[in-house]
Structure 1
């Protein structure tokens, strides 16, 4: 087979009006600075044409929070210690921020509920970090309590890095179910978080065979990276998105129906209504295992949004390696925010700066 060398992309303004804003949490490596990395979030909607516009919209969003970054904003602080948004709930009411300081040895996380700071945790590396996790509760959201977190940590190893890198994408929105793979990535299992009981399992051998068949440069039996990228559902039915090497699949349960989504769709995230699929160009970890010939044939660097109904794919170019103030792209995750909730948040004049932001 041949890899995707080119494709006709459109701008996102060519889509019908979306019901969501797309939060893109991007981490950039910073070589030669001593700080290691920095987060460069951005926010996309139908009006965004460039990554610069997406970054600027994020800055207006961020400015609505009381972040206590006065020293930094006055030029006295260290730019490498800037507070950035890590998580936004779909209703735009629950926001988690993070700041790495002291050469990234100290981590400060804050939880804001409707722009009010309700919790702050500071970790200096001498203790285990318990991350803040937000889960759905009916039509609203809440913080996962200690008992729930303990039950979760008995099934999977959870630390702050997992939250930063969104490695908990295998957990349902309510936090009651989690999809995990066994050590050799041959079996996918959905377990109930409360008691660890198995609710459904799926043999991944068929997907492994499909990957080997699609790749003419990969012999049968070759091991490749696999992970769950997204999980939506309850104990009766739902679906998962998984990465298998450079291929991506959607698996429905309990039917076990498999849909091949395509190749090089990194960090895939379907919108809540299933209309859109956001994904990213290849990140550093996935690129590291590629042959140079394959890497050269992957889609251009940036952010992609596919309209499932029309088949159109919007593309926003972003290549940090060509920006003197950035470096290579480490990873990216996506969060879908309800349009009405986002615009209400932005037009609320009770924010830190007291200015309207979505005009």
Structure 2
């Protein structure tokens, strides 16, 4: 069983941990022993990982208590290095990516999945040169993508797919309103374009808006120079409003999203970038027979369907910047700056 035992070159790993320092987590690097494998576990040599806004909130301590020594990040990709003796899904050398919730394979979400999310609370994540996960908690990387590109998918891309396709039932001719130009937003733009939908992007940067139009956005609105962007969205949709809205802002944007929504449309509630605040007036939602879908990433089944779609349509993730193994704090700083366009990747 040559694949079931790690070689001598895999006896240690480089690992990044959140260590409490003066009351707030800081990233520290260390050398640890390679994780032991159970009979159904897989040892993955992580070659690239990517950051999500969630990771910044965890670093800042804004998502509740984090175990001291936690390995952060949910998104990782690489090659299978070794497998447990009863593993049947994978063999050494396979290219794989992590899934956000290791236990959410298919079917509806259950609250029990929450504590298992990689890189948050008590569940170690992907920011290490080797990790051990159950064989069911991985997906195969599309042949059309590099490992770095695949590392951008587990959270942001699956979220966009779940919101627009699984729950939203996106169709050609629909209009999609997307807030921002981060990972979820640009994956949503690419997915919508591939479906033949029309996409409107909100951004505070004219330069980012220009790049979004180059990626296929039908229209863009600068929400700083046009603070009543809901009025502009209705103008851009002949007074009807958008059929799908990816709501990433939270309390500061939700009422305008409601006013931008078409009758019988859907809001995918994904982010709370502006924090938690007063509840919106939902009477309009009732008046126009609309729907709010709470979206919390997705399952392995969603991820595998997304990968098939990526392959079929030749989609390529938008990578803003790539950092080396010694530049992890700089990668977090880039995310915190808000200047990024697309995903931030760390090569390990």
| TM-score between both structures, scaled by the size of structure 1 | 0.28
Select the structure with the greater relative contact order (CA < 8 A; seq sep ≥ 6).
Answer: 1
The structure where strand makes up a greater share of residues is: 1
